[in-house]
Amino acid sequence: MPRYFNVKKEVIIMELDSLSSLEKREILFTDIKNAIEVEWINTFKLPNDDAVTRSVLTMSDIDSAEARLRRFAPLIKMLFPETIDAKGIIESPLVEVPDLKKALNSEKIGANLSGRLYVKLDSELPIAGSVKARGGIYEVLKHTEEIAVKSGIIDSYEDDYCKLASPAARAFFATQKIQTGSTGNLGLSIGITGAAIGYEAIVHMSAEAAQWKKELLRRNGVNVVEYDSDYTEAVANGRAESANDPNSYFVDDENSTDLFLGYAVAAKRLKKQLRQQEVTVDKNHPLFVYIPCGVGGAPGGITFGLRQFLGDDVHCFFVEPTQSPCMLLGIVTGLYNNISVQDIGLSGKTYADGLAVGRPSVFVGDFIKPFLSGIITVKDKRLFEYMRLLWNTEKIFAEPSACAAVHGAYCWNHSEEMQNYIYDNHLNRHMENATHIIWATGGSLVPDKIRQEMLEKKV
Ligand SMILES: *Cc1c(COP(=O)(O)O)cnc(C)c1O
C-alpha cells in the first residue's frame, strides 16, 4: 500500500514550488515518477455554485453548441447515412452492464462495487468511432458555419444547411484546408468529417498512431503526414504549417474551447438518457463517472458539462496511464502544460494510444480544477485485462485507452484515498443507491484482426 501525504497542505506548497524543488516532494510525486498507480483526490474541488461563478464558460455556451449541432443535423444525415436513424444527431447509447459488475465483484477481482454499473458507449459513436466524434466534428462544423456565412453560401443560422453540400459550396471548401495533429482518433474525426464536407484535410500523425488509422484516412482522401516523434511535435509542426496559410484552419487539441464545448454537449444528452432509463441522480443517489484522459479536452468538457447539468451529485474522475499522467502532474505541480511527463523521467509510452500525451491542454487543467473529483492512474497491464473482461461479460469491445475507465470502478475497494472520499463527502450511506458510468471512449473502428490481437495480448 503506497503511503500518501496530506495532499491538501502539500499541494498548496507544491503549487508555489518550482520544478527543481519538486524533486523533494515525496510520496505522491515519487509514486507518479515511479509509475506506481495512484488515486489522487482533488483538493481544489468546489461546490457547484462557487465553481460555476468562477467559470469563464457557462451553461449557455453548451446550449449554443448543442443548437449548432442541431442546425447541422440535416447536413450530417446527408453526408453520413449511418446517422439517418438518429436524424443526424451523433450520440451513443448508455447501457447497464450487470455481468461486468458481477465479474468485477468476483472474489478474484474484488471490486465490491455497490449500486448500478453502466457503460457510455462512445466507442460506438458514428463517423469517428470514438469520443472525438463529439469535439472534433463540432469544431469542424463551427468553422464551416463561420466561413460559409462569411462567403454567403448560407445567409443565416436559419438557412437550409444542406446547401453546404451543393456543388458550388464544395468547390469553395476545396480551396480551404483543415488540419490537425493527432495520436490517431482526433485525426480520424477531423479528417473524415473535413474530407466529407470537401475540405483539403491534412492530419499530422505522431509516431504512436496506428497504421490502420492512417490507411483509413488515406482511403477517405485525407492527406496524412507522418512523424517519427511524439504527439507534441506533430501538433507543433501542423500548427506552424497551418499558420502560414490564410486558407487553412488548425484544430488545436492542446488549446481549443470549441473542442471542449463539443465534448460538453454529451452531458446534456446524458442527463436525458439517465431520465429515460429512470436513473435518479440526487443527494441520496450519487453518480460516479470515470473518463480516460489524454490532453484533457474530452474528459474536461464532459466533466464541466456534467457538473453544470447535474450539480454536486455527480462525481467525475479522470483516468490516466501510469506512464503518461500529464493532467495529474500538471495539476498537482501547478505547472499545467509547462511540465511534461518526460521531464520527470516517465516514458510517455502506453498502449493506450489516445492517452499517450506528455503534456496537458493549455487551459483544461486550471479550468477543470473546481469541477473535478480526482485523478487515478492505471498500469497498461490492466487495460488488456479490463478489455477482455468487458468483451467476455458484455460483448462490448473498447480500445485500450477506453478500458482505462474501468479502473475507476475497480478502485473504490482497493484505495484508502477513494474510501476517504466517500466518508469526507458523506456518501457512505448512499453507495447502495449509486450509479457508476464507465465512459468507453473508443473502439468500434478498430479492425477485426487488430481487435483479436488486442484481446489476446498479454503485457
Ligand atoms: C482522445 C481520447 C481520449 C482522451 O481525450 P483527451 O481530450 O485527449 O483528454 C480518451 N479515449 C480515447 C479513445 C481517445 O481517443
Asked if the structure places residue 188 within a domain, the reply is: no
Compute the distance from residue 401 Cα to the ligand 1 centre, in Å: 7
Asked if the structure places residue 452 within a domain, the reply is: yes
Structural domains of the chain, count = 1
Dump strand ranges (E) for 221-297: 223-226, 248-251, 287-292
C-alpha cell at 313: 451529485
**298 ligand 1 Cβ < 6 A:** yes
**368 ligand 1 Cβ < 6 A:** no
The answer to whether residue 25 scores a pLDDT higher than 70 is no
H or E, element range at 237 = helix 231-243
**Across residues 426-454, what is the average pLDDT?**
97
Contact call for residues 112 and 413 (beta carbons, < 8 A)? yes
Asked if the structure places residue 39 within a domain, the reply is: yes
CATH number at residue 262: 3.40.50.1100
Asked if the structure places residue 289 within a domain, the reply is: yes
**This prediction's pTM:** 0.94
What tens digit of pLDDT does each residue of 117-141 get?
Answer: 999 999 999 999 999 999 999 999 9
Boundaries of domain holding 263: 2-57+87-127+258-456
Nearest CA-CA partner of 253 in 149, 399, 358: 358
What pLDDT is recorded for position 72? 98
Asked if the structure places residue 345 within a domain, the reply is: yes
Asked if the structure places residue 415 within a domain, the reply is: yes
**Across residues 42-61, what is the average pLDDT?**
93
Looking from the CA of residue 318, the nearest atom of ligand 1 is: 9
Looking from the CA of residue 123, the nearest atom of ligand 1 is: 13
Instruction: Please state whether beta strands 94-96 and 116-121 pair in parallel, antiparallel, or not at all (unpaired).
Output: antiparallel
What pLDDT is recorded for position 230? 78
DSSP 178: E
**264 ligand 1 Cβ < 6 A:** no
**354 ligand 1 Cβ < 6 A:** yes
Asked if the structure places residue 207 within a domain, the reply is: no
**Residue percentage of the chain with pLDDT more than 90:** 89
- The C-alpha torsion from 135 through 137 and 139 to 145, rounded to 10°, is -150
**111 ligand 1 Cβ < 6 A:** no
Asked if the structure places residue 149 within a domain, the reply is: no
What tens digit of pLDDT does each residue of 370-404 get?
Answer: 999 999 999 999 999 999 999 999 999 999 999 99
What pLDDT is recorded for position 7? 38
Q: In what order do the strands lie in the sheet with 177-182?
A: 223-226, 200-205, 177-182, 248-251
Nearest CA-CA partner of 431 in 417, 415, 418, 445: 418
What tens digit of pLDDT does each residue of 186-245 get?
Answer: 999 999 999 999 999 999 998 878 999 999 999 999 999 999 887 888 899 999 999 999
CA atoms of 291 and 71, how far apart (whole Å) = 28
Compute the distance from residue 428 Cα to the ligand 1 centre, in Å: 31
**208 ligand 1 Cβ < 6 A:** no
Nearest CA-CA partner of 111 in 101, 121, 123, 120: 101
Compute the distance from residue 189 Cα to the ligand 1 centre, in Å: 12
C-alpha cell at 189: 474525426
**297 ligand 1 Cβ < 6 A:** yes
Q: Report the nearest-CA residue for atom 2 of ligand 1.
A: 354
The answer to whether residue 8 scores a pLDDT higher than 80 is no
